[in-house]
């Protein structure tokens, strides 16, 4: 690392403002202030907003504090590790020698003003102080990639530093939701993560019925794998795709993410549950994202088993950029008359012409326009 610099960083705004200078009875002041504009609260220190800033020694905090919080630690005796799991206020970090330490996050990191829901996520590389089974996370290294969604106005990082993402859907129980697949594809494309589409439970339907949906994604160049944990269909190819890579496994509850991983590596013994026969919804057996090594050999690869997602709202995505994340729409969008074409009502729209001529899948066009318009933000869509 280079020589650290002094940086003025902002902290979360959880402190009161500057104390009032006058009593509320002073209705007329030389400066013309009105009592309604004065702070109602009062604190003894009188620092107010000044307490929300602090000078720290940092390697780099000026570019983007959302992907990595690299603050120079005060302790030099620190070791590097990877976060396996974040559970509440504790994170489980694996060191280079294989030992796993239960760590808490340094208060400086937790109070920095960021747009993240949590500053540490599964897959993060961190520096830790402390020996034995416990430690303190001093800083988080900048992430090479991350898969995020919006949660209560904050950025919820599902997983960090992955090479690819396996988007698991089901042929039945619950039924496949192409709109959710599209959302994951857009998020993966925007973050430089290679997506793989896995349609599980293919044994429950006629495989020929899956050709239309699988063919649409395959023609765009995405890897599409039809799998079954009952018959073993597609598992050899899935294993080959996971080998030597760090892969996030995502999808809604009940699609069989944990069941697939148990078939790939029986030693994992992940919890599974059946889908409700009444509402066709799965149960949350995986409660937090967890980085898991495949087999005893580290070269076999890692997977991140993530909890089932009931809604996936994209994080800070500009509506005008949605079409660029759709591989099949991108070539036709270049023929639109207007550069800011929404592909809905404009004349001479290359995308609409492609749909009319049968060159573009109608459902994909509807998915793109609905996502750009912000509809279905709290649901998957059908």
Q: Are residues 264 and 194 in the same domain?
A: yes
pLDDT digits (tens, 9 = 90+) for 216-275: 999 999 999 999 999 999 999 999 999 999 999 998 888 888 889 888 888 887 876 555
pLDDT digits (tens, 9 = 90+) for 190-218: 888 999 999 999 999 998 889 989 999 99
CATH code of the domain covering residue 335: 1.10.40.50
Q: Are residues 201 and 257 in the same domain?
A: yes
Q: Are residues 13 and 113 in the same domain?
A: no
Q: Are residues 164 and 239 in the same domain?
A: yes
Q: Are residues 215 and 82 in the same domain?
A: no
pLDDT digits (tens, 9 = 90+) for 12-25: 655 444 444 555 55
- Give the pLDDT confidence score for residue 324 in this predicted structure: 85
Q: Residues 373, 375, 379, 381: is their CA dihedral positive or negative?
A: negative
Tell me whether residue 98 is in a domain.
yes
Q: Are residues 251 and 130 in the same domain?
A: no
Q: Are residues 335 and 362 in the same domain?
A: yes
* Strand, coil or helix: 85: strand
CA distance 381 to 368: 12
| φ/ψ of residue 224, rounded to 5 | -120, 125
- Alpha helical stretches, state H, the chain: 107-111, 178-190, 211-219, 235-242, 257-264, 330-333, 350-356, 362-373
Name the residue with higher pLDDT: 70 or 248: 248
Count how many domains the chain has. 4
Q: Are residues 174 and 295 in the same domain?
A: yes
Q: Are residues 255 and 330 in the same domain?
A: no
Tell me whether residue 233 is in a domain.
yes
**Domain span at residue 367?**
319-373
Q: Are residues 163 and 101 in the same domain?
A: no
* Strand, coil or helix: 257: helix
């Amino acid at each position: 690392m280079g020589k650290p610099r002094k940086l003025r960083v902002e902290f979360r705004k959880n402190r009161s403002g500057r104390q009032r200078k006058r009593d509320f009875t002073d209705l007329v002041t030389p400066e013309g202030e009105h009592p309604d504009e004065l702070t109602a609260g009062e604190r003894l220190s009188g620092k107010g907003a000044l307490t929300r800033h602090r000078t720290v020694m940092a390697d780099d905090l000026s570019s983007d504090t959302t992907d990595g919080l690299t603050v120079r630690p005060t302790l030099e005796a620190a070791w590097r590790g990877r976060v396996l799991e974040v559970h509440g206020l504790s994170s489980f970090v694996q060191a280079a020698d294989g030992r796993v330490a239960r760590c808490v996050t340094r208060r400086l990191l937790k109070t920095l003003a960021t747009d993240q829901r949590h500053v540490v996520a599964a897959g993060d590389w961190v520096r830790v102080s402390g020996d034995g089974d416990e430690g303190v996370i001093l800083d988080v290294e900048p992430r090479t990639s991350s898969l995020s969604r919006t949660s209560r106005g904050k950025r919820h990082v599902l997983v960090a530093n992955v090479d690819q993402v396996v988007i698991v859907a089901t042929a039945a129980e619950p039924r496949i939701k192409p709109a959710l697949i599209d959302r994951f594809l857009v998020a993966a494309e925007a973050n430089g993560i290679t997506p793989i589409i896995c349609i599980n439970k293919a044994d429950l339907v006629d495989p020929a019925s899956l050709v239309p949906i699988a063919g649409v994604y395959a023609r765009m160049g995405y890897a599409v794998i039809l799998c079954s944990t009952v018959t073993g269909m597609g598992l050899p190819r899935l294993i080959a795709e996971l080998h030597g890579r760090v892969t996030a496994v995502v999808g809604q509850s009940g699609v069989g993410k944990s069941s697939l991983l148990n078939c790939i590596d029986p030693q994992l013994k992940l919890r599974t549950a059946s889908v409700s026969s009444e509402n066709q919804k799965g149960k949350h057996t995986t409660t937090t994202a967890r980085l898991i090594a495949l087999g005893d050999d580290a070269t076999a690869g890692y997977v991140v088993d993530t909890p089932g997602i009931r809604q996936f709202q994209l994080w800070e995505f500009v509506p005008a950029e949605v079409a660029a994340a759709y591989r099949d729409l991108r070539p036709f969008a270049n023929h639109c008359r207007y550069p800011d074409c929404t592909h809905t009502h404009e004349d001479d729209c290359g995308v609409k012409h492609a749909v009319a001529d049968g060159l573009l899948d109608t459902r994909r066009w509807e998915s793109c326009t609905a996502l750009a318009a912000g509809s279905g933000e709290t649901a998957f869509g059908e």
